[in-house]
Structure 1
Amino acid sequence: MRNTLADVVTAALGVLDAQGLEGCSMRRVAAALDVQPSALYHHVPNKQSLLALMADEIVGRVGRLHDARALCIALRDAMLRVRDGADVVATAEAFRLGSSEIERSLAEMVGADGARTLLLFTFGHAQSTQTHRQAAQFGALLDAPPAGGQAPPVFDLDASFGRGLDIILRGLVPDADTR
């Protein structure tokens, strides 16, 4: 049975979940599909293209929202559901590898510069949150709250993200020249 492009992307996301972005190689994706690495190149020309497709799959879960704050929260949530999802999406976006439907939607709401600002904040916060969560899993947080104890506000990363969005959005006024 031949694998489809969707099979390749699904396998890549599985490898990402198991190995993280550093361990997500074409060789490992091929092994997950029980094929030779060269078989993947029938579907994608290179790893960057596969990364873009993975990012599109992660971002595709967001849906069409018409509120900039809600869209950023949904994007962050989608990235956080996948191990290293923020790194995948931020990398694809930085290299303009995948679709930028979210950026286009945000630009319609807050202008191009506002959209870029919100995306960079959302990517950065999601990446930081994922790093924090991974460090907590390994017991590597030096200032972690005691087991069963109440987390200080700095550790409430969801609330921190919401406050940051509010700060940015209060200062954003769509500029007709940047749309």
Structure 2
Amino acid sequence: MPAVSAAQGRSASNGGAQRRRAGRPSAAVLDKAGITAAALELVSRKGYDGLTMAALAKVLDVAPSALYNHVKSKQDVLLLVEDHLMSLVDVSGFGGGSWEDAVRTWAWSYRDVFAEHTPLIPVIAVLPVTDAPQTLAMYETVSKGFFDAGFPRERIVPAIVALESFIFGSAYDVTAPEDIFDSGSMAESTPHFTAAVRSSAHGQDGPAGQERGRPADTAFQLGLEALIAGFGAIRT
């Protein structure tokens, strides 16, 4: 009987511990992955301006002081977010195969990642990459791929930046309304543009024969192929 009582006591004690963990989390269970996820959720609901340290602490259900034990400022939080998103970009193509196919894989993945997080583009596009390991690893892989393909070192970063500028803009295009180019009552006075819009609505085949019917995908494919062809001309 005493052993049974002791076991029951331990069970009750464990149950109480579980109930306590369901309440406000302590600083010990707060980590950078959780902070990153909460920051992404906050930005998706309230935009970049809604991401404050106080709001983030509220989402995490912790005191602001607990949050500051892990990140010193909003800039640190944004660096975590940037690093997380960049880690999702597929750079595997640069490990083998042609440079052209590697750029296609990287660019389509890059665009798709940021199409899901457009409120962060104006911030991350100008955020320094200092001390962001996943971001720097991505750039290292892409830079090596460009160098191995015969790009002069001095042209690698400008080429990447030019591609990124196109990628970020195209990420916005994914979320644009389908009728963004509808000329409405002025269709008759803009016949060439109106006809072009109607023709482009049919879409084209995507990479490797994959059907990509959205106008944003058709435009991205066209622009990306033009950039790849243009940059290919400066390879040695």
Q: Which TM-score applies when normalising by structure 2? A: 0.59
The number of aligned residues is: 163
Q: Distance in 1 between matches of 2:173 and 2:140?
A: 24
The match for 1:143 is 182
The match for 1:148 is none
CA contact (8 A) 1:72 1:122 kept: yes
Bigger CA radius of gyration: 2
- The alignment's C-alpha RMSD in Å is 2.8
CA contact (8 A) 1:12 1:54 kept: yes
Q: Distance in 1 between matches of 2:144 and 2:182?
A: 41
Counterpart among 31, 41, 45 of residue 18 in structure 1:
45
How far off is 1:164 after superposition? 0.7
CA contact (8 A) 1:80 1:126 kept: yes
The match for 1:77 is 112
CA contact (8 A) 2:71 2:77 kept: yes
Unaligned runs of 5+ in 2: 1-25, 94-101, 147-155, 185-196, 202-213
CA contact (8 A) 2:118 2:172 kept: no
Runs (4+) of structure 1 exceeding 6 A deviation are: none
Identity %: 25
1:112 is aligned to 2:157: yes
How far off is 1:85 after superposition? 4.2
Q: Distance in 2 between matches of 1:32 and 1:63?
A: 30
CA contact (8 A) 2:91 2:105 kept: no
1:124 is aligned to 2:183: no
Q: Distance in 1 between matches of 2:52 and 2:183?
A: 33
How far off is 1:38 after superposition? 3.1
Q: Which TM-score applies when normalising by structure 1? A: 0.76
Counterpart among 211, 218, 235 of residue 159 in structure 1:
218
The match for 1:170 is 229
Counterpart among 76, 80, 85 of residue 58 in structure 1:
85
Q: Distance in 2 between matches of 1:175 and 1:108?
A: 14
Unaligned runs of 5+ in 1: 146-150
How far off is 1:96 after superposition? 2.9
Q: Which has the higher contact order (CA 8 A, sep 6+)?
A: 1
Change beyond 3 A, Cα 1:9–1:144: farther
The match for 1:87 is 122
